[in-house]
């Protein structure tokens, strides 16, 4: 392979036309970061490339390079622009192009092409003839596949809940505040952040005099890292910026006799104080790849799950429409449903693991008091999502720890047990769904005469 190496053999450096031509002949997939001398290669994706290289192993199917547009005639169309461009070369042809630091799209395109090259190398697939991108100078941005639609970059942003709030057990409260402000949480992980991760995420604060102390504070305990999106599938970042403007517009000292802040503004300010996020498209894209390198792949490969939900008699009678609307609003589809009055025998069988609990007599009485609505709910990650919405196991805990949970919001007066049930794990979901929706088998019999006549 032509050209020198850098970043511990991670990227080849291309500075002239001969090196460019040699690089295109490299076997496997070559991802080339096109840059200009005055702007420099995109440092933001170095960690991303390193993670991808480690993930795909050492089978020499994936290669990275940086190419200086100023010294390579073929790359003349990319001069005088600081926006990074990433070219994908397979079998000597440039077949795709991504403009900008669109980390999820870079991950997606790289993963697809590497997998295809592996299948071809293993003889599982034949290489199909792929048209090379037409002259780079003539290729318009609208024509280059899907590369200029930063859908994932704009839609998602990354937030961090700091160690003190995690230690005080406020994670669920903060997540609910974010949801109440009109955002969704697509992923959340508890992590002990490294010094590198903290310095990268908070790079905009590095000149502050107490920055080193802040880094040590962030390393003092686990944080919760969130992938935040806008519920209406619009851009999350602009809406978060609007929250910041709203909070900044509040005077420091309210006039005497007036409330400190309006409820909405106080809520807004509290969210900004307890969850730090990236509020630029480029930074959010980089951080998404940094903290969740497999996020886009996980999203695309995630299978739709099925879980069991029970709406117990008292809630079904009083607020049926409300709870059904909430289920729909949270993205669930109802695959199967039945309304059934359970016998005592059925209740004892379904809840046999709870028979020795103090609350079981009340549960038995409630379940036998009228019809129960049994639902098979489907969506991505259905089991965990429904359990998360339900909240703590008891009504008392739910009201205290997460008043916005379904068990708290749909509690029925004078009844101590929750009015909703959800499967705890995917295995439990399969067993519980089988209990209420057993598979039915039909026997077909072909008589001897008919079999002989219609062989």
Tell me the C-alpha distance between 68 and 36, whole Å: 5
Tell me the C-alpha distance between 402 and 176, whole Å: 8
Q: How many residues does this entry show for the chain?
A: 455
User: In what helix (H) or strand (E) does residue 277 lie, and over which residues does it extend?
Assistant: strand 276-277
Whether 191 and 222 have beta carbons less than 8 Å apart is answered as yes
Tell me the C-alpha distance between 147 and 97, whole Å: 6
DSSP string, 206-263: TTSTTHHHHHHHHTSS-EEEEEEEETTSS-HHHHHHHHHHHHHTS-SSPPTTS-SS-H
Tokens of 218: 């962030």
Tokens of 230: 């806008």
Q: Dihedral through CA 5, CA 9, CA 11, CA 14, nearest 10?
A: 20
Whether 33 and 66 have beta carbons less than 8 Å apart is answered as yes
User: In what helix (H) or strand (E) does residue 363 lie, and over which residues does it extend?
Assistant: helix 360-367
Whether 13 and 65 have beta carbons less than 8 Å apart is answered as yes
Tell me the C-alpha distance between 89 and 48, whole Å: 18
- The SS3 of residue 105 is helix
**Known catalytic residue at 321:** no
DSSP string, 44-87: GGHHHHHHHHHHHTTSS-EEEEEEEGGG-GGGGGGTT--S-EEE
Tell me the C-alpha distance between 171 and 162, whole Å: 9
Sheet holding 223-230, edge to edge: 183-191, 223-230, 156-161, 276-277
Among the listed residues 354, 421, 441, 454, the single catalytic one is: 421
Tell me the C-alpha distance between 50 and 58, whole Å: 12
- Cite the active site residues: 421
């Amino acid at each position: 392979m032509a050209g020198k190496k850098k970043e511990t053999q991670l990227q080849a450096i291309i500075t002239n036309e001969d090196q460019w031509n040699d690089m295109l002949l490299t076997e496997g997939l070559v991802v080339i970061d096109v840059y200009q001398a005055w702007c420099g290669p995109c440092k933001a994706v170095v960690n991303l490339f390193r993670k991808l290289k480690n993930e795909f192993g050492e089978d020499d199917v994936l290669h990275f390079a940086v190419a200086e547009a100023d010294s390579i005639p073929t790359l003349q169309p990319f001069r005088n622009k600081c926006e990074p461009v990433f070219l994908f070369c397979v079998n000597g042809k440039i077949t795709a192009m991504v403009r900008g630091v669109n980390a999820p799209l870079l991950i997606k395109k790289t993963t697809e092409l590497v997998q295809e090259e592996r299948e071809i190398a293993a003889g599982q697939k034949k290489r199909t003839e792929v048209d090379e991108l037409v002259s780079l100078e003539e290729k318009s941005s609208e024509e280059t596949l899907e590369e200029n639609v930063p859908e994932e970059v704009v839609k998602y942003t990354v937030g961090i809940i700091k160690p003190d709030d995690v230690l005080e057990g406020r994670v669920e409260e903060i997540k609910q505040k974010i949801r109440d402000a009109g955002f969704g949480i697509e992923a959340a992980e508890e992590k002990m952040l490294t010094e590198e991760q903290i310095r990268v995420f908070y790079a905009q604060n590095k000149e502050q005099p107490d920055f080193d102390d802040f880094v040590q504070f962030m390393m003092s305990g686990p944080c919760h890292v969130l992938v935040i999106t806008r519920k209406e599938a619009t851009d999350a970042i602009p809406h978060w910026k609007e929250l910041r403007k709203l909070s900044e517009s509040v005077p420091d000292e309210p006039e005497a006799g007036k409330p400190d802040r309006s409820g909405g503004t106080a809520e807004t300010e509290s969210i900004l104080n307890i969850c730090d996020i990236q509020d630029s498209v480029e930074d959010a894209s980089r951080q998404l790849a940094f903290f969740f390198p497999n996020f886009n792949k996980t999203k695309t490969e995630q299978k739709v799950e099925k879980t069991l939900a029970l709406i117990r008699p008292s809630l079904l009678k009083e607020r049926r429409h409300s709870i059904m609307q909430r289920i729909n609003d949270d993205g669930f589809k109802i695959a199967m449903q039945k309304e059934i009055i359970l016998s005592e025998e059925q209740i004892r069988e379904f809840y046999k693991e709870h028979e020795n609990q103090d609350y079981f007599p009340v549960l038995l009485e409630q379940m036998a008091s009228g019809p129960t609505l049994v639902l098979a709910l489907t969506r991505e990650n259905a089991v965990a999502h429904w359990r998360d919405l339900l909240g703590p196991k008891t009504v008392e805990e739910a009201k205290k720890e997460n008043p916005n949970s379904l068990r708290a919001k749909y509690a029925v007066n004078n009844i101590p047990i929750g009015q909703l049930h959800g499967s705890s794990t995917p295995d439990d979901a399969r067993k519980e769904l089988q209990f209420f929706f057993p598979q039915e088998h039909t026997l077909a019999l072909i008589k001897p005469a008919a079999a002989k006549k219609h062989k």
